[in-house]
Structure 1
Amino acid sequence: MAWDEWEQIKAGAAAGPSASMRLNQLAPAAGGGGVGKPDMASSAAAKRAAAKAIDDDLEPGVTRDGKHAAETTNAAVKEFGAKDGHGWDTSGALKRAHETWEKQVKMLLGRLSSEKQALSATGISMQNNELDTAARLARQSRIQGI
């Protein structure tokens, strides 16, 4: 980008409207979630499906593909390794790259496991919050005679 072009862009930005925020209307009567939509929604079935997908598809696939990479990389390291006392530098580099790969696969599996557990725990937590809120509202309404 030429210097003159950059100066033109800066001047145009400075002359344009400011980046301040202005509300042109109020939120709909139903609240910020839009008409007929709840502000916060949680689907226990969707969370179970996501946790099941991690358990059934992602974790086994990462494990399988991680092992496949190990087999092919180890074969390449062996081929490039020293047979007559002299080997290729590629062999050592591949070995170090593979060690990094194994660490990353292990970290990814750990992350997937954490996400799966969080999905399960969130569903339980949301359900408990709903029950607690309903119970508190029921207690309040009885106390106030409603």
Structure 2
Amino acid sequence: MRDHKPDDFTAKLSKGELPNPEQLTVVGMVKAVEGSSSTVSFTNSLKCEHWLPLPIDIVDSFTHLKNVTCKDHEHPLVKVKFKRPGDLSPEVAFFAVLYARMSARLVALLTVDGGSTTLQGCEVLKFDGEAYICCDGECGGLV
């Protein structure tokens, strides 16, 4: 979501210039990449597996949720809010929007009566009014 000043909002509203804001946010563990200040390692697996390099230049912000145990050590569990698709390359923007829409649809399918439910190994967890999708120990999109 994006905040607008009242005058700015009404001007954009009257001109039809209020596009649907696509925001991509994911939840997972992070760890430092030795010798790199431009990349962190990210995984949505709570089993300390499947680490991917995450370039921080596509990240808008990190929210540290808590530290979680991973085998015999801990990693920060974070909410990663990515830059808006318009701020990214067309390729990255396409996949960001696609992922955000798929996550929203999955949450809508799994959420019943505003509560959480479990379906075929998937669970929708809600923190701070936002839904997190976790399937077989791997947490995905946040809507």
TM-score by length of structure 2 reads: 0.25
Larger fraction in helix? 1
Return the index of the structure with the highest Cα Rg: 1
